[in-house]
A and B are shown apart, each in its own frame.
Chain A
Amino acid sequence: DIQMTQSPSSLSASVGDRVTITCRASQSISNYLNWYQQKPGKAPKLLIYTASSLQSGVPSRFSGSESGTDFTLTITSLQPEDFATYYCQQTYSAPPWTFGQGTKVEIK
């Protein structure tokens, strides 16, 4: 199975900060990497698919990039509604579909 490792597990940031979350795959997954946002008590929401495609309706301050087996989610100017937990997911070879362990973005 392909393992996905996110870093950091949590971070504290202020409104307006630039935030970067990294996800590393245990093997090559091409660009088959998705990002989700989850707020407490709510279902996950798709932000980015195939590494860098922004889902419709998602603000442009969110972006994704890739470099080999490393993938990055960037929030250019953190907003109050962005405080949440973020998950990466590989869909290169399934089953199983695998998620990273999550990164919790908290208010500093």
Chain B
Amino acid sequence: QVQLVESGGGVVQPGGSLRLSCAVSGFPFNSYGMHWVRQAPGKGLEWVAFIGHDGNNGYHADSVKGRFTISRDTPRNTLYLQMNSLRAEDTAVYYCARSTGGYCSGGHCYRDWFDPWGQGTLVTVSS
């Protein structure tokens, strides 16, 4: 059974740091790229970051570039999102999701879909 379980969310002050984890099971972790997606309260979905199956091809949304870093630990079957210099506008539920069906080439990625998703972890940035 494929499972993605996020953890690490919580309340942090502006300017602070937090590391999210996504523990996966039920599929060969080193065969799939992985995404982080977030959803601010009452808002839509916003893609945050992607990492390729082999740890290469790491991409971040402009809104988090230079502050967030996606990584993965294959032996631990775990995906991470290191979040630094947090702002109030980073307050959201953060989901990890598996990238399925696509491929990356020449700095672009194509035709994947996000399935499945974890249950999400809430990050609140507030003083």
Q: Which residues does A use to contact B, with CB under 8 Å?
A: 32, 34, 36, 38, 42-46, 49-50, 55, 87, 89, 91-102
Cβ distance B23 to chain A, nearest Cβ, rounded Å: 15
Q: How large is the interface on B (under 10, 10 to 19, 20 to 34, 35 or more residues)?
A: 20 to 34
Name the segment of B10-18, B24-32, B79-87, B108-116 touching the other chain: B108-116
**What number of residue pairs across chains A and B have CB atoms under 8 A from each other?**
77
Knowing A43-B95, A97-B35, the reply to whether A91 touches B120 (Cβ < 8 A) is no
Knowing A43-B117, A46-B116, A49-B101, the reply to whether A92 touches B111 (Cβ < 8 A) is yes
Residues of chain B from 93 to 118 with CB closer than 8 A to chain A in the complex: 95, 101-102, 108-118
25 contacts between A and B (CB under 8 A): A32-B110, A36-B114, A38-B45, A43-B116, A43-B119, A44-B37, A44-B114, A45-B117, A46-B116, A49-B113, A50-B101, A50-B111, A91-B110, A91-B113, A93-B110, A95-B47, A95-B60, A95-B109, A96-B59, A97-B35, A97-B50, A99-B44, A99-B47, A101-B44, A102-B44
- 4 more contacts with CB within 8 A, not counting A43-B95, A44-B37, are A32-B111, A89-B114, A91-B112, A92-B111
Q: Which residues does B use to contact A, with CB under 8 Å?
A: 35, 37, 44-47, 50, 59-62, 95, 101-102, 108-120
Knowing A34-B113, A36-B114, A92-B111, the reply to whether A99 touches B62 (Cβ < 8 A) is no
Q: Is the CB of B109 within 8 A of A96?
A: no
Residues of A with C-beta under 8 A to B119: 42-43
Q: Is the CB of B114 within 8 A of A94?
A: no
Residues of B with C-beta under 8 A to A38: 45
Interface of A is mostly: loop
